Amino acid sequence: MLNMLRKIGFSSYTFSETIVVTEVLDNKWNCAPMGVKLENGKLYFYVYEGTRTLEALRKNKYLTINIVYDINVFTKCVFKTLDYKKLYELSNNFPVPHIVTADAYVECKLIDLQEADGKFKAICEPINVVVKRRVPRTFNRAFPAIIEALIYYTKIKPFKKIGLDKELNDLMKKIMHCKYIIKHATTNKKYLEIIDNIISKALDEIGEQQ
């Protein structure tokens, strides 16, 4: 199991950007991007107060950690604009679904939720690892640039909450730089539409009550 987790990229040094699926209510699932690390054979991530993921983990101990190379899934999990029927797939012997388009997923049980400076360390016991895709992919700059832009976007709300208003301009500049990267990396309109959408949502978010 540990070997397989390492093979698919989990490390104790580097965050793996994954999609975590949890159960919020009976048969109601939630997905969110989370940065996951490996420690003593367990997977863990830090989850902030106010997220649905934390709310769900307080009630239900099972979750799946999904390796997804699908920008639509990341974007839609952040903006919650999902067609839920097409997103999830249940396996026969686990209570929480995984993402249909995942390259691999890990079925896990939460074993501890430790509070540490306003965030919670969710420690998960891996129960089963499933690899769905064994074909290599080329590396490109567009995918990580969208991931980066989404991370900055998700920081706007918490920054506003703790009064870091001066930093908001900086976040916006960083998001604009992601667009610059995308423009140099691809002519695929899908990526440009997604980054423009992130920019417009970020501007709306920053504009509110300023």
Ligand X SMILES: Cc1cc2nc3c(=O)[nH]c(=O)nc-3n(C[C@H](O)[C@H](O)[C@H](O)COP(=O)(O)O)c2cc1C
The site for ligand X (CB under 6 A) is made up of: 17, 30, 32-35, 45-48, 51-53, 78, 147, 150-151, 154
For residues 134 and 137, which CB has a smaller minimum distance to ligand X in the complex? 137
Nearest one of 106, 128, 129, 118 to 44, comparing CA atoms: 106
21: DSSP letter:
E
**Widest CA span in the chain:** 50
For residues 96 and 150, which CB has a smaller minimum distance to ligand X in the complex? 150
Residue 46 CB, nearest approach to ligand X (Å): 5
Sign of the Cα torsion 111, 125, 29, 162 reads positive
For residues 48 and 69, which CB has a smaller minimum distance to ligand X in the complex? 48
Residue 155 CB, nearest approach to ligand X (Å): 8
Label the pairing between strands 104-116 and 28-39.
unpaired
Residue 93 CB, nearest approach to ligand X (Å): 25
Residue 34 CB, nearest approach to ligand X (Å): 4
Residue 77 CB, nearest approach to ligand X (Å): 7
Q: Count of CB atoms within 10 A of residue 137's CB? A: 9
Distance, CA of 5 to chain centre:
18
Which residues on neighbouring strands pair with residue 124, listed in sequence order?
43, 110
For residues 92 and 115, which CB has a smaller minimum distance to ligand X in the complex? 115
For residues 107 and 205, which CB has a smaller minimum distance to ligand X in the complex? 205
CB 56 within 8 A of CB 136: no
3 state DSSP class of 198: helix
Structure token pair of residue 144 = 């990580």
Q: Count of CB atoms within 10 A of residue 83's CB? A: 7
For residues 30 and 66, which CB has a smaller minimum distance to ligand X in the complex? 30
* φ, ψ at 199 (rounded to 5°): -60, -45
Residue 55 CB, nearest approach to ligand X (Å): 8
